[in-house]
């Protein structure tokens, strides 16, 4: 996991949009009421984002004590307790929704990724993500993909070149786009080219690109392309690949399958938080508080 300082601004923003000028609902409680609580799974899934959950509660109130019972990457089943915590009652309730939002979304990504990885088990094909991420969440979402057993594609426009249909059209073709790119960035940065036809695949091989993406190709077309490329470039399959066809695609011999849905439309894993024993330091607290 990354250093939490990298995500403190995102956490602060999430808490601010939820708590705003103050939580109206917890005004019914006395300030010195404390409670224990358990955060548990309501669905099966793969855990991701526990450090964020801890940091959310700590950001609300450093008096909240948190004890994780699992770790990122663990599978959980319905009813499994993920975290036990205790601290000021109002503070726990104020951090609850934001903490669950982070955990549910990131665990959803890890779970979907693990399901995809399992589909291609025993083959040499890796499952990778894309740049189709939520603004401000990219590092977190890509972390969750790794937790689920997938690999990360490029992080942004700055760490690798991907020449897509618009790039090729704007400069008059694949070969021209590759040559201009090499003139600009030199030989140290990898170049990937998106190919929609077999003719483009042959042209990409002739240009000596590092990675060839087979975009929206059928199974037989992919198999033909992989055979032609013959390890002269890394081969990535992308576009319109469903969970039920993952293994078929992997069996064509592609090295990578990129799946945008891992981050842009994943289903969250459901978790919930239940309070335990509520305590007060004085009897007056009970009379005023609950």
Of the residues 38, 42, 75, 97, only one is catalytic, namely 97
Q: What is the dihedral of CA 38, 141, 105, 41, to 10 degrees?
A: -40
Half-sphere exposure (CA, 13 Å, Cβ side) for 80? 18
Q: Does residue 223 carry a catalytic annotation?
A: no
The C-alpha atoms of residue 35 and residue 266 are separated, in whole angstroms, by: 33
* 63 known ligand binder: no
The C-alpha atoms of residue 22 and residue 11 are separated, in whole angstroms, by: 16
Of the residues 86, 192, 194, 236, only one is catalytic, namely 194
* Sheet with strand 271-279: strands edge to edge: 65-68, 81-88, 34-41, 271-279
With beta carbons less than 8 A apart as the criterion, state whether 261 and 108 touch: no
- What would the two tokens of residue 65 be? 């004590």
Q: Does residue 210 carry a catalytic annotation?
A: no
* 260 known ligand binder: yes
Of the residues 96, 192, 215, 236, only one is catalytic, namely 215
Q: Does residue 77 carry a catalytic annotation?
A: no
* 240 known ligand binder: yes
* 239 known ligand binder: yes
With beta carbons less than 8 A apart as the criterion, state whether 201 and 225 touch: yes
* 38 known ligand binder: no
- What would the two tokens of residue 248 be? 């078929």
List b or e across 62-73, with b for residues whose CB sees 16 or more CB atoms inside 10 angstroms.
eebebebeeebe
Q: Does residue 97 carry a catalytic annotation?
A: yes
* 122 known ligand binder: no
Q: Does residue 132 carry a catalytic annotation?
A: yes
* 259 known ligand binder: yes
Of the residues 164, 180, 224, 267, only one is catalytic, namely 164
Of the residues 38, 75, 132, 267, only one is catalytic, namely 132
Task: Cite the annotated binding site by residue number.
Answer: 97, 130-132, 154, 164, 194, 215, 238-240, 259-261
Task: Cite the annotated binding site for substrate by residue number.
Answer: 97, 130-132, 154, 164, 194, 215, 238-240, 259-261
Give catalytic residues, as residue numbers: 97, 132, 164, 194, 215
């Amino acid at each position: 996991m990354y250093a939490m300082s990298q995500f403190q601004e995102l956490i602060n923003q999430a808490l601010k949009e939820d708590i705003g000028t103050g939580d109206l609902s917890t005004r019914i409680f006395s300030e010195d009421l404390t409670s224990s609580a358990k955060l548990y799974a309501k669905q099966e899934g793969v855990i991701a984002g526990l450090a964020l959950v801890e940091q959310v509660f700590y950001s609300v109130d450093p008096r909240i004590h948190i004890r994780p019972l699992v770790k990122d990457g663990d599978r959980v089943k319905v009813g499994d307790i993920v975290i036990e915590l205790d601290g000021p009652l109002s503070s726990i309730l104020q951090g609850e929704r934001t903490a669950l939002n982070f955990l549910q979304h990131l665990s959803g990504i890890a779970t979907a990724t693990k399901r995809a990885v399992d589909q291609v088990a025993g083959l040499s094909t890796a499952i990778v993500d894309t740049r189709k991420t939520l603004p401000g969440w990219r590092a977190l979402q890509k972390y969750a993909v790794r937790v689920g057993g997938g690999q990360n594609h490029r992080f942004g426009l700055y760490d690798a070149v991907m020449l897509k249909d618009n790039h090729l059209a704007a400069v008059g073709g694949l070969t021209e786009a590759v040559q201009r790119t090499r003139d600009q960035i030199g030989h140290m940065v990898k170049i990937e080219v998106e190919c929609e036809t077999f003719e483009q695949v042959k042209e990409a091989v002739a240009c000596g690109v590092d990675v060839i993406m087979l975009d929206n190709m059928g199974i037989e077309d992919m198999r033909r392309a992989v055979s032609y490329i013959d390890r002269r470039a890394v081969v990535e399959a992308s576009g319109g690949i469903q969970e039920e066809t993952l293994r078929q695609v992997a069996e064509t011999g592609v090295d990578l399958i990129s799946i945008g849905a891992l981050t842009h439309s994943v289903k969250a894993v459901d978790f919930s938080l239940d309070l335990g024993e509520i305590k007060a330091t004085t009897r007056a607290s009970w009379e005023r508080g609950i």
